[in-house]
């Protein structure tokens, strides 16, 4: 008996079509030879200046006439010899002009597929597709594709990762998203202004130059030090504002979607089940307004921010979508270290705390900049106890919880007996949690 439409009971193999990147890509890659020359000049500016002064106008024009076509030819050939294709089980990317490289990306190993658009790419109407793969230290990317083509390919790859058949994956389209949070630009600007790091850099820019003037009486020394410090103070806040502008978090079947950026737009995905740690950060100057920042540790991904700033209740509602069934404990409910911990860390021992819920291990640190870390029991890779000689004297110990993102959350200055119980209990909870862990795959 044969399947309908299949002769002889043999299913015909799907034709694999190789595709090229967007025709604007050669202009991007043509800069590679120019970058080599610029790098050499920056490495040895004196020699570069000497060589430049020896050249006549005719020689420069001839060099320019050779360099421009050479760079253009390099860009064209590197684009021409780059192909990608989607097969039944993998995404293949073939690159290389002289040295060929073929990347085979298994679709079931995809963690996230992000669409990014630098400023010039937005003007040209193209986008970059970045691929997070389990076990890969470096992201593969397709740069550049047409904006609509990039989004369609992303939707197809996510549909295939969710289990849709190859014949229908390209017809599924991008899954709808429900908006959970949008950060107003004014709120973001105020929050960055109230960040301690910004004020620290500004104070350094205002204090260091007068001190240098009193000690050296050199205008150039003051300018050489003060201008970079002042620029760093502004760039720290301005850079974050540009990068986190119009921050939007939405929920869809393929995970939480994050869109942000004033000049360079990014469309990122937080895959379900890949979040190893969630941190609720509360700077000192934000507490009066009730604002917090939510950061993430995602295995194998560069995603590190979930919410740049939001009221605590709103942020906790978003965290509940990342860690279903988890309620962020109030700061006052965490167990502090015993008072004798002040012998090891005077004053600051009050900023540490720990508690263990049904699904997460929770540790807090910081007095001025509070940070509460939540680690799902299922994501704990190992548990360690450390105790130096001074802590042994005061019967104290630290419990370290290691996660799959190569990060560690530590419960500091615990009573030695309590720490031993935490160690044994967390090992059992981790084994139990992994049995009921949320799937790392997207849902179809």
Report residue 146: phi and psi, to 5°: -60, 145
d(CA 148, CA 256): 21
Report residue 253: phi and psi, to 5°: -60, -20
d(CA 125, CA 123): 6
pLDDT value of position 170 = 63
pLDDT value of position 168 = 67
Of residues 342, 393, 339, 383, the one with CA closest to residue 363: 383
Q: By three-state DSSP, how is residue 364 classified?
A: strand
The token pair that represents 185 in the structure block: 């630009």
d(CA 413, CA 389): 13
pLDDT value of position 13 = 56
Residues 286/307, Cβ–Cβ less than 8 Å: no
Residues 328/373, Cβ–Cβ less than 8 Å: no
Q: CA-CA-CA-CA torsion for 337, 341, 344, 345, nearest 10 degrees?
A: 60
pLDDT value of position 166 = 65
Q: By three-state DSSP, how is residue 99 classified?
A: coil
d(CA 81, CA 199): 50
Residues 6+ apart with CB under 8 A from 365: 351, 352, 371, 410, 412
Of residues 296, 267, 275, the one with CA closest to residue 376: 275
pLDDT value of position 3 = 40
Residues 6+ apart with CB under 8 A from 52: none
Report residue 228: phi and psi, to 5°: -60, -40
- The one-digit pLDDT tens for each residue of the chain (444 residues) are 344 444 444 445 556 678 888 888 877 766 656 666 666 666 666 666 666 676 667 776 777 777 778 777 877 888 888 889 888 788 999 887 777 888 888 887 787 788 999 888 888 899 999 888 776 667 778 888 999 899 888 888 887 777 676 666 666 667 778 899 999 999 999 999 888 766 777 777 778 888 878 888 777 777 777 777 777 766 677 888 999 999 999 988 777 889 999 999 998 888 767 889 999 999 999 999 999 999 999 876 666 899 999 999 999 999 999 888 888 888 778 999 999 999 999 989 999 999 999 889 999 999 989 999 999 999 999 999 999 999 999 999 999 999 988 899 999 999 999 999 999 999 899 888 776 665 555 554
Residues 209/225, Cβ–Cβ less than 8 Å: yes
Q: Residue 83's beta-bridge partner residues?
A: 94
d(CA 85, CA 309): 40
pLDDT value of position 5 = 43
* Other Cβ atoms within 10 Å of 298 Cβ, number: 22
d(CA 353, CA 369): 14
Alpha helices in 280-352 (DSSP H): 312-322
d(CA 173, CA 156): 7
Residues 31/71, Cβ–Cβ less than 8 Å: yes
d(CA 283, CA 402): 25
d(CA 224, CA 93): 47
pLDDT value of position 441 = 54
- Return the half-sphere exposure (C-beta side, CA atoms, 13 A cut-off) of residue 237: 21
Alpha helices in 44-132 (DSSP H): 45-54, 57-80, 119-124
d(CA 15, CA 357): 52
Of residues 67, 66, 110, the one with CA closest to residue 91: 110
Residues 359/376, Cβ–Cβ less than 8 Å: yes
d(CA 360, CA 69): 60
């Amino acid at each position: 008996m044969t399947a309908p439409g299949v002769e002889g009971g043999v299913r015909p193999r799907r034709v694999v079509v190789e595709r090229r990147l967007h025709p604007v890509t050669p202009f991007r890659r043509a800069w590679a030879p120019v970058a080599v020359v610029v790098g050499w000049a920056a490495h040895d500016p004196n020699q570069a200046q000497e060589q430049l002064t020896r050249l006549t106008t005719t020689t420069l024009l001839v060099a320019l006439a050779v360099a421009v076509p050479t760079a253009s030819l390099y860009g064209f050939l590197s684009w021409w010899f780059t192909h990608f294709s989607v097969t039944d089980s993998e995404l293949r990317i073939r690159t290389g002009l002289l040295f060929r490289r073929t990347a085979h990306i298994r679709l079931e190993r995809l963690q996230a597929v992000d669409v990014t658009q630098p400023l010039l790419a937005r003007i040209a109407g193209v986008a970059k597709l970045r691929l997070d793969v389990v076990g890969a230290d470096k992201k593969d990317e397709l740069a550049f594709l047409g904006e609509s083509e990039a989004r369609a390919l992303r939707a197809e790859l996510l549909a295939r990762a969710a289990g849709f058949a190859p014949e229908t994956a390209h017809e599924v389209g991008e899954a709808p998203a429900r908006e959970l949070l949008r950060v107003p630009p004014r709120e973001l600007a105020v929050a960055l202004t109230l960040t301690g790091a910004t004020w620290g850099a500004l104070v350094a820019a205002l204090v260091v130059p007068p001190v240098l003037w009193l000690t050296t009486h050199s205008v150039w020394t003051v300018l050489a030090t003060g201008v970079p410090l002042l620029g760093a103070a502004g760039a720290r806040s301005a850079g974050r504002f540009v990068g986190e502008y119009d921050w939007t978090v939405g929920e869809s079947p393929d995970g939480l979607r994050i869109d942000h950026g004033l000049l360079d737009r990014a469309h990122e995905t937080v895959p379900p089940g890949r979040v190893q740690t969630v941190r609720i950060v509360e700077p000192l100057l934000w507490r009066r307004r009730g604002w917090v920042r939510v950061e993430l540790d995602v295995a194998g991904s560069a995603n590190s921010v979930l919410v740049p700033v939001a009221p605590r209740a709103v942020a906790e509602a978003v965290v509940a979508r990342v860690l279903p069934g988890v309620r962020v404990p109030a700061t006052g409910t965490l167990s502090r270290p015993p008072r004798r911990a002040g012998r090891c860390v005077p004053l600051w021992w009050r900023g540490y705390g720990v508690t263990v819920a049904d699904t997460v291990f929770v540790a807090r640190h910081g007095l001025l900049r509070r940070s509460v870390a939540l680690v799902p029991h299922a994501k704990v890779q190992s548990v360690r106890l450390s105790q130096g000689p001074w802590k042994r004297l005061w019967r104290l110990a630290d419990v370290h919880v290691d996660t799959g993102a190569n990060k560690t959350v530590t419960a500091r200055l615990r009573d030695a007996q309590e720490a031993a119980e935490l160690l044994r209990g967390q090992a059992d909870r981790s084994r139990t949690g992994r049995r009921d862990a949320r799937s790392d795959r997207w849902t179809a």
